[in-house]
Structure 1
Amino acid sequence: MKEGNPNKRRASIMKFFRELPSQDDDGQVLPISGLWNTAMAHPNDPEFIELGIFECMSALIWKGLKNRRWLSHDQNIYIPYYAAHIIGSYTMNMEDFAETAVNAGVIPPLVELLRGRLTWVEQRVAVRALGHLATYASTFPAVSSHGEILELCIQLAMSSLEIVYSHFYQYADRRLSYHCDLLTRGMGGVEMESRKAEEWASQLQSGIGLLRTICHHKFGRGPVSSCPGVIESLCNIARSSDDWQYMAIDCLLWLLQDPNTFHKVIEKAAPAVLDLAEIQTLGDHKKLGDSILNVLQESINSTGNRNSISNRTQEDIESLLDSRERFKWEKSMPKEDLHIKQAAALVVKLEGNSLFSSGNIQAAALKYSEALSLCPVRSKKERVVLYSNRAQCYLLLQQPLTAISDATRALCLHNPVNRHAKSLWRRAQAYDMIGLAKESLLDAILFINECSNSMDPDLNCRQNKVPDYAERLVKKQMKAAWLFREAAVKHGGIDCEEGGGGGGGGGGDGDEK
């Protein structure tokens, strides 16, 4: 590396990469660790790519898989992990590097690591590297040609938490020392190891990023559409405060646009995307609601698709499309007429508030529905209140799925998106009622943040800090949403506590004002 002559330097590095896999000297982990640091610091540097680093790393992984005597000698146990991580780093940003890696034959040894031929630590870096290779159009076919990769990723998504918990987290005194070193880089004790193990276990689940990559390509959409649990999870993330909400929406739209997967997902996906059709901007996604409506319109206009749609779903889609036409029609409507419609909607809403206050919740919900039919589509603030109030009715009527739908619509209409405090709280309680702890937790945390910044005296919690009812729900869901909870219950790490009902109290009035 210190050679000043460029030609000699290239020749010596190339020779090093070519000969390293066949050597059995002690201390091999030191140069590999150095390469790992270099790859992390300079993943776009082409020098080593041209000199055979991928062939070298691939050969080292194979050596670790086939020669257990060598693997257990000295500190060689670290080498397959470092080798797979180096492949992942150099293929993270550059498509031409990824093409070189595929041509160098990195996929087969990575698949063997993914199968669990070594340990969960190596599985994690195999998932990382294969995920990067799957992001490029030129290398995705090479990944997809190994049909077992998607199946293995799905299996890992279901079992990885139990694997990491039982093989590492549960018993601190039985942890493999090289796992501890890799997790903490020698810094920190048991607590740091446990914290990093949670983080790595989450990454080992593949996550929605890899799922989005798979759904982006037609080769991947078929297997994904055949997994009802995956589709249900995508719908839950799409209607949540998760940072990756937009990725879930992308996946659902691609599955709906594909005629080969449409019929498998429409009945599960339609309710979720219908609730999201009012979103205008979500991160870098502009006019997202229009994109959703266009996909749904194309789907019901297709003769082949119509036979796959239930009457209920078709009616819901057509109703939403009618509201878009209503919006266009309202643009040309005289202002006086719009004001009359707004006034009529307000009168009906007040009737609903009165019914709610008197305890007639079912009748109040019907009044809010009537007010929504009268309220101009362009009157977004008023519609936010109506949807949110109706969501509260459905909560009290023990209809959590309908409450989630209405609260989501209110959050999509609100400006900024996903920041309407009362709707966040109502959806948090609804998710709690159906046992979705993570989604409930995310909404409850955002609700607390919005309360802290609100000028509404009913919501402002600067003096009281956090509302007691919200704090109770957050604490409950943090326990329930703990990454290793199910694994810990199964393996006797904790007693299975009974889950309580909703978060209770707070923000439960029938109106916003």
Structure 2
Amino acid sequence: MAEKAGSEDDFQDALSEPVSPIHKVTTKSTEQDKLIDEIIEKNTNLRLEDDNDDEKEKATGAPGGNDGADDDNQKEALQPDGELSMEELLLREKDMSTEQLAANKEQADKLKLEGNELFKNDEPARAVEIYTEALNICPSSNSKERAVLFGNRAAAKMKLEANKSAIDDCTKAIDLYPEYVRALLRRAKLYEQDDRPDEALADYKRVNEIDPGQREAREAQARLPAVINARNEKLKADMLNGLKGLGDMILKPFGLSTANFQMQQDPNSGSYSINFNQNNS
């Protein structure tokens, strides 16, 4: 079923249009590598900041006076970006009232808008932190809102060239919201950059099923099959060359080589027959 126009905008995705195609980078300066590594390391060690403000404590349902015991448990449940696992989030929500959950949802929406502004102002690292903070309080039942947070965080990571992590976030977003076109497009582009055209083509096909008007998806479906075929032919040639080398090594003690064996393909069945020629050596 085609997605309703503007439905993603209702959830305030970070971008007003799908992110532009990313170009494959073959080399980067040492300083840029170092900067990106520092950013990723920082994001990996993100933790929820303590906030003693009574209003925020009431909204999040965080207990006080635990002498750090809950902090230790929380660290164990954190994901690479400092994000709470779904199990920990559900555990936290277990004793929350409807009002507390609504307050958390409202706070998550505010954080999302803050993250969007940071993204637009070219502060992707800080945007990642804010989207993560929002994910740690956005109720588990709000699947679409959580999907957009993951999708927005993926867009910010793409700016940081943290592409593997961005793919993971796109996948989380799509799992929560299967018709999330922007997340599918982002993941497809990341797959292309990662030399995974089969997966990219599958995502573009899914986009076309949801929204046949997506020109980018249509063009990719026309372009990628040739890329995949060329890749497969190269893999096949490499494999045959490897087998040829192995065969020559095995046959050498007998005064033979793979040149003594000729393969002929039957044009009707596609099967191969092997003929031996003593004179080819």
> Of the candidates 75, 100, 122, which is equivalent to residue 359 of structure 1?
122
Cα distance change of structure 1 residues 329 and 399 upon mapping to structure 2, 3 Å threshold: closer
Report the counterpart of residue 211 of structure 2 in structure 1. 451
- Aligned-partner Cα distance in 2 for 1:352–1:321: 18
> Of the candidates 204, 222, 225, which is equivalent to residue 475 of structure 1?
222
- Aligned-partner Cα distance in 2 for 1:399–1:313: 24
- Aligned-partner Cα distance in 2 for 1:322–1:395: 23
Larger RCO: Structure 1 or Structure 2 (Cα < 8 Å, ≥ 6 residues apart)?
2
Report the counterpart of residue 188 of structure 2 in structure 1. 428
- Aligned-partner Cα distance in 1 for 2:105–2:170: 21
Secondary structure at 1:432's aligned position in 2?
helix
CA RMSD of aligned residues (A): 3.0
- Aligned-partner Cα distance in 2 for 1:474–1:358: 33
Asked if 1:485 is matched to 2:241, the reply is no
Report the counterpart of residue 380 of structure 1 in structure 2. 143
Higher helix share: 1
**Counterpart contact for 1:323–1:377, Cα < 8 Å:** yes
Report the counterpart of residue 327 of structure 1 in structure 2. 90
Shift in Å, 1:394? 1.4
Aligned sequence identity (%):
28
Cα distance change of structure 1 residues 338 and 487 upon mapping to structure 2, 3 Å threshold: closer
Secondary structure at 1:481's aligned position in 2?
helix
Secondary structure at 1:402's aligned position in 2?
helix
Cα distance change of structure 1 residues 488 and 329 upon mapping to structure 2, 3 Å threshold: closer
- Aligned-partner Cα distance in 2 for 1:413–1:437: 24
**Counterpart contact for 1:352–1:365, Cα < 8 Å:** yes
**Counterpart contact for 1:327–1:378, Cα < 8 Å:** no
- Aligned-partner Cα distance in 2 for 1:480–1:313: 43
- Aligned-partner Cα distance in 1 for 2:102–2:165: 30
Q: Which of these two proteins has the greater Rg computed from alpha carbons?
A: 1
**Counterpart contact for 2:78–2:84, Cα < 8 Å:** no
Report the counterpart of residue 346 of structure 1 in structure 2. 109
- Aligned-partner Cα distance in 2 for 1:383–1:321: 13
Structure 2, gaps ≥5 residues long: 1-74, 241-281
Shift in Å, 1:400? 1.3
1:168-179 maps to which residues of 2 (within 5 A)? none
**Counterpart contact for 2:146–2:173, Cα < 8 Å:** yes
- Aligned-partner Cα distance in 1 for 2:161–2:226: 24
Cα distance change of structure 1 residues 353 and 471 upon mapping to structure 2, 3 Å threshold: same
Structure 1, gaps ≥5 residues long: 1-311, 453-460, 492-513
Cα distance change of structure 1 residues 382 and 424 upon mapping to structure 2, 3 Å threshold: same
Describe the superposition over 1:354-411 as per-residue Cα deviations: whole angstroms up to 9, x where unpaired: 1112222222222211111121222212100100111111122212101110011111
Report the counterpart of residue 21 of structure 2 in structure 1. none
TM-score (norm 2): 0.51
> Of the candidates 174, 180, 199, which is equivalent to residue 439 of structure 1?
199
**Counterpart contact for 1:444–1:470, Cα < 8 Å:** yes
1:99-138 maps to which residues of 2 (within 5 A)? none
- Aligned-partner Cα distance in 2 for 1:440–1:386: 22
